[in-house]
Amino acid sequence: MISVGIVGGTGYTGVELLRLLVSHPEVDLKMVTSRSEAGKPVADMYPNLRGFTDVCFSEPDAKTLGSCDLVFFATPNGTAMKLVPELLDQGTRVIDLAADFRLQDTDEWQQWYGMPHTCEDVLAKAVYGLPEINRDAVRNAKVVANPGCYPTAVGLGFLPLIENGLVDDQHLIADAKSGVSGAGRGANVASLLCEASESFKPYAVDGHRHLPEIRQTLGGIAGHSVGLTFVPHLVPMIRGIEATLYAVLKKTDVDLHTVYTERYKDEPFVDVLPKGAMPETRSVKGANVCRISVFQPQAGDTVVVSSVIDNLVKGAAGQAIQNMNIMFELEETAGLDRPALMP
């Protein structure tokens, strides 16, 4: 059994992590920290966990957390870097679901996150945890930077095209839409029911924090910097991301569906749909899967890819557990081999 701790278990990502971990066959959940809720049973805050765990929230303490084999950070950006060095010194491995170890350029980190990076030595050793491109590195990692939700949907959608040099990678477009849970559990007027319901809007068009992460991922695949226009939108649903991706093909006589099916045929959590099928966010709700369709409208030189994930699962907690399974040489699907929720 793997002894596991969670730092910051009160947000949507934290409770999704808890929901998946309490039924994982190889996990012993030792502690869940929250300064504001210390002493309160986790199941009192999240009644869906009644009967699954009797753990109470506790104060974050590096020495106690260091007794775990693995610690997940489901905390605001900038929190993990304060505790991770001490945990590593105690032999504890770490998966950070925030952005502390995603961007390798610390100047870029400060530009987008508004604070200096205080843990550059750890950052240099951190592995970006998108298993479909970094599985071998994740296996031996001490610190895994779990990808963001938009970067997961966009990265997996563009990956086969860029990897095979099939498109002009200087003019990529990602038109992405997310449910309201992506904004987190904190009180925010824009997330209120009366504000978000029956409405659909773009945001952060001039620059979203996930933009440099997506560029870094796609650039790593291409072997050089890519050009990307990324426009996120807020849609009136709780969970889910749909990313519609556009690129100009270098050749128009390629069987794109075969390119995608071949690339992902051995990936347990990427599902390339049959030709002509349209992905739906409801088909991935609660599941750790990315569903993809690829189109070439009117047999022209534009390729259109639709990629859907649950932002809280494959876009966060589920992918973190997928990384845990790889790190500890478990079946990659352990605790995650469940269908989506419908309706």
Per-residue pLDDT tens over the stretch 300-319:
999 999 999 999 999 999 99
Computed over every residue of the chain, the mean pLDDT equals 96
Under the banding of pLDDT at 50, 70 and 90, the label for residue 187 is confident
Per-residue DSSP letters for 104-125? S-HHHHHHHHSS--S-HHHHTT
Write out the residue limits of the CATH 3.30.360.10 domain(s) in the chain: 150-311
Q: Supply the pLDDT for residue 191.
A: 85
DSSP state of 311: T
Per-residue pLDDT tens over the stretch 258-281:
999 999 999 999 999 999 999 999
Nearest to 332 by CA among 24, 8, 31: 24
Write out the residue limits of the CATH 3.40.50.720 domain(s) in the chain: 2-125
Q: What are phi and psi of 276, to 5 degrees?
A: 85, -15
Please compute the mean of the pLDDT values over residues 173-181 and round it to a whole number.
Answer: 96
Lowest mean pLDDT among 100-114, 180-194, 317-331: 180-194
Per-residue pLDDT tens over the stretch 7-22:
998 899 999 999 999 9
149 is catalytic: yes
- Rg for the chain, CA atoms, rounded: 20
Lookup: tokens for 180: 């309201």
Under the banding of pLDDT at 50, 70 and 90, the label for residue 101 is very high
Out of 68, 119, 149, 290, pick the active-site residue: 149
Note the CATH number of domain 150-311. 3.30.360.10
Please compute the mean of the pLDDT values over residues 144-164 and round it to a whole number.
Answer: 98
Under the banding of pLDDT at 50, 70 and 90, the label for residue 183 is confident
Instruction: Give the span between the Cα atoms of 230 and 331, in whole angstroms.
Output: 34
CA separation, residue 300 to residues 42, 164, 172, 304 (Å): 54, 19, 16, 11
Q: Where are the alpha helices (DSSP H) in 164-269?
A: 193-196, 210-222, 256-264
Spatial neighbors of 176 by CB under 8 A, at least 6 apart, are 150, 153, 154, 230, 231, 232, 233, 241, 242, 243, 244
Contact (Cβ atoms closer than 8 angstroms) between residue 42 and residue 32: yes
Note the CATH number of domain 2-125. 3.40.50.720
Q: In what order do the strands lie in the sheet with 270-272?
A: 201-202, 228-234, 172-178, 241-248, 302-309, 290-295, 270-272
